């Protein structure tokens, strides 16, 4: 979720829409509180590096925000991860600082974070914190900002965490469902309709830092590989939109990123092979790893895939967690 980087990204880097909304009276705002569930996400969806992602119903972080008179961010952690409470070094903090600056520093935010998504898991821990923070803050402000604005602010948290402003976790976390990030500059997010899907995840208890996982990627790729990857991305989006499970399955192939990153994840190939034998449509590395995800058409298949994942990692001696869940159509949700 957080980074050792000393400098947070400035909100001057983001361009927000004009907002005619009149903010409520400060004294009224000071009485408000908002608690949200901020969901985990699966980024890339195998072939869609940095452009595709989906939101999960489980796991999720729990965040509570209140407005305070001073234009600062105060962070309280209610978990065992010992993440920075300095807002300049916390992804939720830098996202909220960007919002405060856009509000002309009229007030600030007090945020309590209870992380259920382990940092470094590959299922959108940093995105949940930064997206959850801005969505909750926006709810307190009667939804002054658009969802696209919130993505822009939350992306500053991703830049703090990984060194790169990417939205493939942020967008589904805020929009819900499956999202396509057609462009970052300018920001262009497309919600992609998808059929019912079950998601099985295994999270081996090792850390793969997003920044490190990016550094090992090849700087150049063969044209033939790029063409095959483009075909898979187009096929996957089409498969979602047409509820064509066979096309989804055929398109869950990555010839560029997975061959490099999979070496960082113990037993990756065996998990994938046995999951496919169990009937999974397909899957691969969740984000930058180390979690592995598989999509299935039915719950029965998803549970069988979970069993196979447990068998594989049970033999390795590496501690692990598993989840069987579904696609979250809402994204960050107020409770």
The set of catalytic residues is 158, 210
Which residues touch 58 (CB under 8 Å, ≥6 apart)? 39, 40, 323, 325
Phi–psi pair at 53, nearest 5 degrees: -165, 160
Examine residue 150 and say whether the peptide bond preceding it is cis (omega within 30 degrees of 0): no
Where is 113: in which H helix or E strand? strand 108-114
Place of tokens 């790729």: 221
State the first-to-last Cα distance of the chain, in angstroms, to the nearest integer. Answer: 23
Q: Over the range 38-67, which residues count as b (16 or more CB within 10 Å of their CB) and which as e?
A: bbbbbbbbbbbbbbbbbbbbbbbbbbbbbb
Half-sphere exposure of 51 (CA within 13 A, CB side): 14
- Tell me the two tokens of residue 150: 């919130």
Residue written as token pair 């449509």:
281
């Amino acid at each position: 979720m957080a980074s050792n980087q000393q400098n947070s990204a400035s909100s001057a880097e983001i361009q927000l829409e004009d907002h005619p909304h009149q903010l409520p009276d400060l004294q009224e705002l000071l009485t408000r509180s908002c608690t949200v569930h901020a969901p985990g996400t699966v980024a890339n969806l195998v072939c869609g590096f940095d452009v595709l992602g989906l939101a999960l119903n489980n796991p999720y972080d729990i965040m509570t925000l209140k407005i305070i008179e001073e234009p600062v961010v105060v962070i309280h952690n209610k978990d065992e991860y010992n993440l920075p409470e300095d807002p300049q070094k916390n992804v939720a903090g830098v996202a909220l600082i960007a919002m405060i600056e856009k509000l002309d520093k009229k007030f600030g935010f007090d945020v309590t974070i209870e992380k259920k998504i382990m940092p470094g898991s590959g299922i959108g821990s940093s995105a949940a914190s930064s997206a959850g923070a801005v969505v909750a803050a926006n709810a307190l402000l009667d939804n002054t900002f658009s969802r696209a604005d919130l993505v822009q602010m939350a992306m500053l948290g991703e830049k703090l965490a990984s060194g790169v402003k990417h939205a493939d976790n942020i967008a589904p976390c805020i929009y819900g469902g499956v999202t396509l990030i057609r462009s970052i500059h300018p920001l262009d997010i497309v919600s992609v309709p998808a059929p019912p899907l079950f998601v099985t995840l295994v999270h081996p208890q090792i850390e793969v830092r997003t920044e490190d996982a990016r550094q090992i990627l090849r700087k150049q790729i063969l044209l033939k590989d790029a063409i095959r990857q483009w075909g898979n991305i187009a096929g996957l989006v089409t498969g979602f939109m047409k509820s064509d499970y066979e096309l989804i399955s055929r398109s869950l192939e990555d010839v560029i990123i997975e061959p490099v990153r999979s070496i960082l994840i113990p037993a990756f190939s065996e998990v994938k092979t046995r999951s496919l034998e169990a009937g999974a449509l397909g899957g691969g590395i969740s984000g930058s790893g180390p979690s592995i995800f598989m999509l299935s058409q039915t719950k029965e298949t998803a549970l069988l895939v979970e069993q196979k994942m447990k068998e594989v990692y049970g033999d390795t001696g590496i501690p692990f967690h598993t989840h069987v869940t579904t696609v979250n159509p809402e994204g960050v949700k107020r409770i």
